[in-house]
Structure 1
Amino acid sequence: MAIRPPISPGQWINSRAELLPMRPALTFQGTTWTYREFVEQIDRLAGALHAQGVRQGDRVGFLAFNHSMFLVALFATSKLGAIYVPLNFRLTGAELEFIINDAGVHTLIVGPDHQSVLEPVRGALKCQRFFGFGGHSEAWPDIAREMERATPVHAAAEMDPDDVAILIYTSGTTGRPKGSMMTVGNIWATMVNEMLMVDVLSTDTLLTYAPLFHVGGLNVLTMTTILKGAHVVLHQSFDPGQVIADIARYKVTLAFAVPAMLLFISQHPDFEKADMSTLRSVSVGGAPCPEPLLKLYNGRGIAVNQGYGLTETCAMASFLTPEWCWQKMGSVGKPPPLTQLRVIDATGEVITQPHARGEICVRGLNVTRGYWNRPDATRDALSEDGWLRTGDVGYFDEDGFYYICDRVKDMVITGGENVYPAEVESVLYEHPSIAEVAVIGEPDEKWGEAVTAVVALKPGTTLTLEQLQEHASQKLARYKIPRRMHIVPALPRNPTGKVLKYVLRDRFAKSAGGEKQ
């Protein structure tokens, strides 16, 4: 008989409540639940979902800002052996319609701020049940009432490690979003990797303000903190001032952020005088952490863990510890224990020479099964022996540390030379006037593509193309120096903080604006 280890979220949350019933589990908007109270809420929602016909393998969708109900619904869904589908609250109704129907959501739970978003497309949704929470609406019956009348479900359904637990849809920047199938085993492996690399303690307090619908907000520390029986302080959305205040209020020890969030926190007027003495480390992903930010936070006694990952790797594919951040500046580190990395060339051959650039590939227990209803996309992304093609260009050095140069599709080819925007951006970020910068390729009759800098300036500063070029010329070859520049108020970003370069390309490819040379 096959052994089914009790590693599903619905199973291990019960273990936490039994071992640490009175330990604080979750704080949201001033209310704190112990692990016992947290599991009582989970059991009630599991009972309500079961009463509405949710069974093993069914999909339960959730759409709202960060909320305690998000985590309650995730664990309740797992207790039934069903599949959780967290939805991006920034999408339009039409975009959400595609994802909800593609996933085949049985029961949809929607917060009060997003019910109006779905109203125009509700008739096209194929869900069997619709519920709301946090407000009264006849069209969206309150799931809390169902929880009150339902018989709680405490025992968790048995699940195999290969059973899908969560469907997280990719951003769809190059086409329709795809549902990445995160299994029970994937989640477990990710948490083991993080516990080994970050050293999460049961006495820690994590502050979560990144969107939970995204793999970074959910899997980088939030789920791991709960597995350890530690305390999660959850914010509805990212507010730099509130982050600073709650670090002191709750004696926060851990946090996750993308570099843009760290930047905004550091620019808040309360940052300099804030008490951050309990904050042991911040884990950073989504983009490389610029050196000035690294120095700033290290100067406050805060260690910065850096990593690299994708939705398809359940967040973590590599990790750079604080001990190596200065010796290996710009590196994304090495793969954690349950993960492997390699680099391949354009023909698919494995590169064995350090510093030779190619496409990064990932294999490990944290790599997802593929894409929901998309066997074609799964075949394109995953090899038969489990290697995931990331679409990222990178290399490794003599010590086995990996570096990400850029996305394959973001590379600029100018005059026959390959230019990796991340390399140019890292130099431009050193200019004192630049707050944000993205480098793209613009169509050019002479060069094929012109290296172009899209810049957001710091308040009260100015910058000309000539000044930018003079700065870049000190560290970059001539063909890498931007030939054009556009000044914008801010760069467009997705919920994880990554710059949406396709938006910039679409915008500026159609215009003749910008300074040129």
Structure 2
Amino acid sequence: MSSPDITLGGWFSGRAARSPRRPALTFEGTTWTFGELLERIDRLAAALRASGVKHGDRVAFIGFNQPASLETWVACSRLGAIYVPLNFRLAGPELAFIIEDAGIHTVVAGSAQMAGIDAIREQVNVRHYIGVDEGAQRPEGWASYEKLITANGRLDSPDVVRPEELSVIMYTSGTTGTPKGVMLSHENLWWSDIALLSWIDISADDVTLAFSPLFHIAGLNFMIGITWMRGGHVVLHRSFDAQATLDDIQKYRIKTLFGVPAMFIAISQLPGFADADLSTVRMAVCGGAPAPEPLLRIFADRGIGVLQGYGLTETAPAAIFLVAEYALSKLGAAGQPPLYIEAKLMDGTREVTAPFERGEILLKGPNITTGYWNRPEATAAAFDPGGWFHTGDVGQYDDDGIISIVDRVKDMVISGGENVYPAEVENVLFGHPAVSEAAVIGLPDEKWGEAVTAVVALHPGATLTLAELREFANESLARYKLPQKLFVVDELPRNPTGKVLKFQLRDDLSTE
């Protein structure tokens, strides 16, 4: 008996065969059924094959969220090629580094990104360039994406692809150094979806709103993957816009969505939030960083339990998830690992089992990367001899065995010999009525070693002093955790996935 085809191209074509007339994707007013989308994917795959893309070659996409990014991903799978999504906000030298490191054969680019790629052409060894037609004139040397799809027939024979072969190489954001390419196989992606479906109730009638960047693993393979697997409908936004999100939740009767805390904060602060019809939203998942408890309560007051999800690029992204039954009783917790994934907490060489003790989160499962592209040393450092993956994140159990994410190991502040976890302090500071968003970092201090430093953005017209902030936080925090310094900024620096760039804050403020 042959094994089922669990590769991306295999299961997507299987879903399209079973649900050809069901809506699969809506983008800027146009909707494609599963059958129509698969036809475009197979025509693109035929065009890529005709241009020389072979099994194992790497194909990159750079651009805002758009159907072409998802079509290219699945088309690569049909050929046994490897998809490499690029962060369009990276500078030219950073993109050139990734393109050369990955050995990219073909670049597919959105209209706004073609000029940036042209600027680094002499630095890279790319064989073929394809530009997505969006009304802009294509520079010389770029093939037309739509013309390739129109001119080619459907792929006559998809390559035979094994589940253990790579589907995606996704480069980390590089916030702490040179980007590393995380290798994700087809079975990594499949088991992430299956693990999530063991926790999450997704149906064929679900409509999910996708606005997180598709060069991020949660944007690419979280709600989109599991929704399509069940035959549901994806509404895709070009980028995140709080007002457009609120509008389309009502227009398309959205049932599920995923975002990072900064996105949910922006939605909650819209003037129309209180009166918007959010009655269809059954599940809102927040990930990427710990969500402040006051934010979760804002949505809970609207009848929406925002579930925390925890994952990494290396876990494709399933790792730990809070199921709906705990949405309000375990507000702010990350949850438990779903089926097929194991988690444990380690303090050095000691496994942490007691409630509320802290330890680094280690993970094991079929969804976890085998390592980093061209980085054997980094791969070896990420796994212990037992095959457990070290996340670098600190967690703790509660009395029921539910895990909360406390902070990043590297973000911990050591002040006067005491460990201070910024996420705990940020959670309190966010509750101050003047604070719109907050980050806590450690800055060098002659007396304390590191000073607990609050960096905050304020609501329009609000003011705040360090004394006022300390007085407010003193009700909830031990004195050694109270901010010793305060910086007020217009906004916090974030990477495209919404994570605060704390290294940038430390670099910018350590000289002040």
TM-score over 0.5 for the pair: yes
| Structure 1: distance between partners of 2:160 and 2:231 | 22
1:405 paired to 2:406: yes
Q: Tell me the residue number matched to 1:204.
A: 206
Q: Which amino acid aligns with 1:173?
A: T
| Structure 2: distance between partners of 1:55 and 1:5 | 23
Q: Tell me the residue number matched to 2:429.
A: 428
Deviates more, 1:242-251 or 1:77-86: 242-251
1:73 paired to 2:84: no
The 1:469–1:154 alpha-carbon spacing in structure 2 relative to 1, beyond 3 Å, is farther
By how many angstroms is 1:269 displaced? 2.2
Q: Tell me the residue number matched to 1:364.
A: 365
| Structure 2: distance between partners of 1:290 and 1:449 | 24
1:13 paired to 2:12: yes
TM-score, scaled relative to structure 2: 0.97
Deviates more, 1:133-142 or 1:364-373: 133-142
* CA deviation string 1:66-113 (max 9, x = no partner): 001111111101000110001111111111111111111111111110
2:396 touches 2:404 (CA, 8 Å); kept in 1?
A: yes
By how many angstroms is 1:270 displaced? 2.5
Q: Tell me the residue number matched to 2:123.
A: 124
By how many angstroms is 1:58 displaced? 0.7
Q: Tell me the residue number matched to 1:165.
A: 167
Q: Tell me the residue number matched to 1:43.
A: 42
Q: Tell me the residue number matched to 2:503.
A: 502
**What secondary structure is seen at the aligned counterpart in 1 of 2:150?**
helix
Deviates more, 1:481-490 or 1:118-127: 118-127
Unaligned runs of 5+ in 1: 512-517
Q: Tell me the residue number matched to 1:227.
A: 229
By how many angstroms is 1:325 displaced? 3.2
2:296 touches 2:306 (CA, 8 Å); kept in 1?
A: yes
**What secondary structure is seen at the aligned counterpart in 2 of 1:86?**
strand
1:417 paired to 2:418: yes
| Structure 2: distance between partners of 1:385 and 1:12 | 32
By how many angstroms is 1:232 displaced? 0.4
Q: Tell me the residue number matched to 1:515.
A: none
By how many angstroms is 1:301 displaced? 2.5
* CA deviation string 1:458-489 (max 9, x = no partner): 11211110000101111111111111000001
By how many angstroms is 1:387 displaced? 0.9
By how many angstroms is 1:44 displaced? 0.5
| Structure 1: distance between partners of 2:35 and 2:208 | 19
The 1:309–1:26 alpha-carbon spacing in structure 2 relative to 1, beyond 3 Å, is same
| Structure 2: distance between partners of 1:321 and 1:10 | 29
| Structure 1: distance between partners of 2:156 and 2:274 | 47
By how many angstroms is 1:263 displaced? 1.1
1:209 touches 1:236 (CA, 8 Å); kept in 2?
A: yes
Deviates more, 1:413-422 or 1:389-398: 389-398
Q: Tell me the residue number matched to 2:469.
A: 468
Match of 2:305 among 303, 314, 330: 303
By how many angstroms is 1:4 displaced? 4.5
By how many angstroms is 1:358 displaced? 1.8
| Structure 2: distance between partners of 1:288 and 1:22 | 39
1:6 touches 1:158 (CA, 8 Å); kept in 2?
A: no
1:450 paired to 2:451: yes
| Structure 2: distance between partners of 1:323 and 1:499 | 30
By how many angstroms is 1:155 displaced? 4.3
1:194 touches 1:221 (CA, 8 Å); kept in 2?
A: no
TM-score, scaled relative to structure 1: 0.96
Q: Tell me the residue number matched to 1:489.
A: 490
By how many angstroms is 1:193 displaced? 1.7
* CA deviation string 1:243-302 (max 9, x = no partner): 111112111111111111111112122222322221211111012222232222223232
Q: Which amino acid aligns with 1:252?
A: I
Unaligned runs of 5+ in 2: none
Q: Which amino acid aligns with 2:185?
A: T
Q: Tell me the residue number matched to 2:94.
A: 95
By how many angstroms is 1:418 displaced? 1.0
| Structure 2: distance between partners of 1:398 and 1:386 | 28
The 1:384–1:159 alpha-carbon spacing in structure 2 relative to 1, beyond 3 Å, is farther
| Structure 2: distance between partners of 1:453 and 1:375 | 38
Q: Tell me the residue number matched to 1:514.
A: none
Structure 2 counterparts to residues 59-458 of structure 1, below 5 A: 59-134=58-133, 135-137=136-138, 138-153=140-155, 155-346=157-348, 348-458=349-459
| Structure 2: distance between partners of 1:33 and 1:149 | 19
Q: Which amino acid aligns with 2:4?
A: P
1:11 touches 1:156 (CA, 8 Å); kept in 2?
A: no
| Structure 1: distance between partners of 2:479 and 2:299 | 33
| Structure 2: distance between partners of 1:173 and 1:485 | 23
* CA deviation string 1:20-77 (max 9, x = no partner): 1110010011100011110110010000000011111111100000001111111101
| Structure 2: distance between partners of 1:155 and 1:436 | 52
| Structure 1: distance between partners of 2:399 and 2:117 | 52
**What secondary structure is seen at the aligned counterpart in 2 of 1:471?**
helix
| Structure 1: distance between partners of 2:304 and 2:158 | 39
| Structure 2: distance between partners of 1:330 and 1:480 | 20
| Structure 2: distance between partners of 1:432 and 1:95 | 39
2:296 touches 2:332 (CA, 8 Å); kept in 1?
A: no
| Structure 2: distance between partners of 1:253 and 1:24 | 15
* CA deviation string 1:370-429 (max 9, x = no partner): 100111100000224321101112222332111221111111111111111111111111
| Structure 2: distance between partners of 1:287 and 1:103 | 28
2:353 touches 2:397 (CA, 8 Å); kept in 1?
A: no
The percentage of counterpart residues that share the same residue type is 50
1:79 touches 1:154 (CA, 8 Å); kept in 2?
A: no
Q: Which amino acid aligns with 2:176?
A: T
Q: Tell me the residue number matched to 1:24.
A: 23
| Structure 1: distance between partners of 2:353 and 2:297 | 33
1:4 touches 1:159 (CA, 8 Å); kept in 2?
A: no
* CA deviation string 1:109-161 (max 9, x = no partner): 11110112222211111111111111432232212222222232154322222
2:305 touches 2:328 (CA, 8 Å); kept in 1?
A: no
**What secondary structure is seen at the aligned counterpart in 2 of 1:191?**
helix
Q: Which amino acid aligns with 2:230?
A: K
1:4 touches 1:161 (CA, 8 Å); kept in 2?
A: no
The 1:350–1:155 alpha-carbon spacing in structure 2 relative to 1, beyond 3 Å, is farther
2:305 touches 2:327 (CA, 8 Å); kept in 1?
A: no
